Amino acid sequence: MTQPFEPATGPPCAPPTTVLNLSLAGSEVGPILERALEGRETTIEEGTRLFEARGAELMPLMAAADHLRREAVGERVTYVVNRNINFTNVCVKRCGFCAFSRGHRAGEGYFLPMEEVVRRASEAWELGATEVCMQAGLPPGMDGWYYVDLVRTVKQALPGIHIHGCSPEEVLYGSQLAGVSVADYLAALKEAGLGSLPGTSAEILVDAVRDVISPGRITSAQWVELLQTAHRLGLPSTSTIMYGHLETSYHKAVHLHRLRALQKETGGITEFVPLGFIYEDAPMFQKRRPAGLRQGPTGIETMKMYAVSRIMLHGWIHNVQVSWVKEGPKLAQVGLMAGANDLGGTLINESISTAAGARHGQLLTPTVMRALAREMGRIPAERATDYRILRTFADPAADPEDLLAGVENADARFGSYGKLIGEQRFRFKDVYAQGKRPSPQLAGGSGQ
């Protein structure tokens, strides 16, 4: 079958034009980096060894990754103006890493009606956003076609906005409730106006680890198969990893290998987003701590993740994104010299990392992002969700007005997770207690 995306081309065959001094990398890491710079594919075993790099091996590792970044995407540092809309925190799953979810009778469980989702998306559009990212929990009793109707309602209200939403876990849940195949459900989402899928719910694509941190969740094979189907239907996706918990260096290398294999087949992945485990309020840290659980990644572990990802995915997935909401803008900026090239989104609202204990806020303005890139000697650029460049900002004096930077109090203007879980008007338990269920009709949508 002909794939709807451009076929991935693989690593370049020609040797790099710049020769790096890898003498400090040692007899084990040095040859691996040399082979990567020659355009040869890094194996799982080699990736595992790179994740174990220490001491003098670290700087050559990051320099090699930065060189491959330059080959792949040049000197641009990209970002997208977007808004997160996590429309409910009520979920039937009980993942050990997730401090965001609540049970259906919990006082802090909320559910945003469709008119509120549309209001938030419209506000973002007026402030320059080109994307809304819609992800949420898996509420019990939900009408199976709710996700489809939500996408359709937002797209009808804002035809020009890109809807990036419905994680593989949500697509699987919706298809099961609707009683249709995953392919049919994805086709319905696309017809309704979905532009792309977030590659979340991947966590770590090793089921022995998944069974501990998120028992009962979508399996590795299901995750891969679902994205294969989405890509075949013309729906691109991102890809992610969650690390810094129970996984080993080998597990991380296996995860990257599986993403690379998927991209070789479909060409539908737009970016790779490493997500460090936020431990502070995670249930598996607070309540039922498994043996060997770490307190998230260290700074060096974060840099190694960016570097090894760039090296293993080189030629296949071109964009590696930092996570300022998890690491903070300062460490995220350093990631730009370890293989990363994208600062992610403005977000405007952020609930999932904040609920777990992240303390870096929910809005990073374009003005700040451009400054972070320029301090690294790079050229900032605003992109679309699919990485088309919308605007490049070579001259700081010519920067346009930043509407988000003009918001004096972001929490007062946009709300916050702390306020949201305390608002009585969005209580899920009140809806559930009345014998109702989240449905297109209840939420003001048009129905399937």
pLDDT digits (tens, 9 = 90+) for 283-319: 788 888 889 999 999 999 999 999 999 999 999 999 9
The predicted structure's pLDDT at residue 443: 45
The predicted structure's pLDDT at residue 101: 63
Beta bridge partners of 243: 276
Pinpoint the alpha helices (H) of 314-427. 324-335, 352-356, 366-375, 410-414, 417-420
CA atoms within 13 A on the CB side of 410: 19
Mean pLDDT, to the nearest integer, of 405-422? 90
Helices 168-178, 182-192: inter-axial angle, 10-degree rounding: 110
The predicted structure's pLDDT at residue 23: 78
pLDDT digits (tens, 9 = 90+) for 4-49: 555 444 544 334 445 577 878 899 999 999 999 999 999 999 999 9
Q: How many residues does the chain have?
A: 448
Q: What's the CA gap between 139 and 428, in Å, rounded?
A: 9
Mean pLDDT, to the nearest integer, of 205-226? 94
Please say if the pLDDT value at position 357 is more than 80. Answer: no
Pinpoint the alpha helices (H) of 138-181. 146-157, 168-178
**Single pTM value for the model:** 0.92
**What percentage of residues in the chain have a pLDDT greater than 90?**
73
pLDDT digits (tens, 9 = 90+) for 51-80: 999 999 999 999 999 999 999 999 999 999
Looking at every residue in the chain, the average pLDDT score rounds to: 90
Q: Are 79 and 366 in contact (CB under 8 A)?
A: yes
Q: What's the CA gap between 331 and 434, in Å, rounded?
A: 47
Pick the residue with more confidence: 259 or 1? 259
Q: What's the CA gap between 396 and 133, in Å, rounded?
A: 29
Please say if the pLDDT value at position 349 is more than 70. Answer: yes
Strands laid side by side in the 82-85 sheet: 82-85, 131-134, 162-165, 194-196
Return the CATH class of domain 69-433.
alpha beta
Query: What are the domain boundaries of the chain?
Result: 69-433
